[in-house]
Structure 1
Amino acid sequence: MRHTMKMTLAALASLALLPTAVSAHTVKGPHPGTVLATTYYSSGSFHGAVDIASGASCNSWGVETGVVGSVYWNVTIQSTTTACVTSSGSGNGNEARHHWADGWTFRVWHFVKTAASVDKTCDRCQVGDEGEHTHFHQDKSGTKDTSWYSGYTTKGEAVDRTETIGVLD
């Protein structure tokens, strides 16, 4: 009995060493462009997100959510216009977001409203057209997470739809 108990405990302990499945989601470029900002703006103030712009005029590219793996996107349209808004410096307030079970929310901001701007479940789906820039960030209770893109992308980097911007765990 004692030997059996030791073997059982050893077997259970070895299970703890096995890697568990992690549901990571890769984030790809929303459209071709250049990374304008990541953790900090050029001014030195905290940004905590990835901004990408093509340098073309508004509505030049369709904006994809970038997240590989079918997730439900809640799309919120805060702008009644289909034109690019640039007066605030941050584009319009249109947003696509996904809430993860652990409380984190991944957001895509500043796209221009199109017929694709609807709630949906999809894999790297289009949610609108490029506005002034496209903004990606992850937050939880007001705290922005920068780890998902750290080591994957840098300010000034040219990206396209095949480029990995980061990984969400």
Structure 2
Amino acid sequence: MRKMLQAAAVLVVCGSTSAFAATVVGPVCNPAAKVISTTYVSCTGGSHNALDVGGVACGDPLYAPLVGVYTYKLYGGCVNTCNGDTCNGGAGNYFVVTGANGWDFRLLHINTDANSTTKTCDRCLLGRVGGTGSATTPHVHMDNRQYGTRKTAWYLNAGTTCGSSASCGNVLGQPTL
């Protein structure tokens, strides 16, 4: 009985009931990949509390950036493009990894291909760099949210700024999941 209780306690601790810090590495295996945008506030009052990874060609392979096994849920239906449209409220085709306590991690503006499905994997091929949604140039938008509010500590605490290398293997931050 004691061993059963210990096993149950381990299941609760190791389940998704507590938020934790994950690690994000560059999602594009191209030495030219870099951070092209971080936190800013526009003249109209809008803000961009996220990382945009670009400097690569539309159609370059896009890999799952979270280190470890995670479930990436695809929200698709948009026509692949490199110049933007209004599909999915401006997000375009995108993936969401859902964590605990209202946390999630999102990748937006993806061009889909045969690899683009909801899947559980570690650094697998998700699709292609694209410009779907309100993108003005091919890039991957990555953000970490809690209850829908974008947070910036996940990349600011890692020292990631505009111009940082975003090629695969380079750590970009530690989002909460």
On whether the aligned pair clears a TM of 0.5, the verdict is yes
Equivalent residues of 1:85, 1:91 under 8 A apart: no
Q: What is the 5 A alignment of 1:10-159?
A: 23-31=20-28, 32=30, 33-40=33-40, 45-56=46-57, 58-59=58-59, 61-79=60-78, 81-86=79-84, 93-131=92-130, 132-152=138-158, 153-159=160-166
- Counterpart of 1:117, as a letter, is S
Equivalent residues of 2:52, 2:142 under 8 A apart: yes
> CA 1:29–1:91 in structure 2 vs 1: closer, same or farther (change >3 Å)?
farther
Quote the residue 1:8 is aligned against: none
Structure 2 unaligned segments of length 5 or more: list them. Answer: 1-18, 131-137
- Secondary structure of 2:174 counterpart: strand
Q: TM-score, normalised by structure 1?
A: 0.75
- Superposed CA RMSD: 2.4
Quote the residue 2:14 is aligned against: none
CA distance in 2, matches of 1:62, 1:128: 6
CA distance in 1, matches of 2:49, 2:39: 4
Equivalent residues of 1:84, 1:92 under 8 A apart: no
Q: 1:110-151: per-residue Cα shift (whole Å, max 9, x none)?
A: 110101110110112221101110010011222111111113
CA distance in 1, matches of 2:26, 2:90: 18
Rg comparison, structure with higher value: 1
CA distance in 2, matches of 1:122, 1:133: 22
How many residue pairs match? The answer is 144
Q: TM-score, normalised by structure 2?
A: 0.72
- Secondary structure of 1:124 counterpart: coil
- Tell me the CA shift for residue 23 of structure 1: 4.2
- Counterpart of 1:51, as a letter, is D
Q: Percent of aligned pairs with the same residue?
A: 34
Quote the residue 1:161 is aligned against: 168
Structure 1 unaligned segments of length 5 or more: list them. Answer: 1-21
Which one is further off, 23-32 or 97-106? 23-32
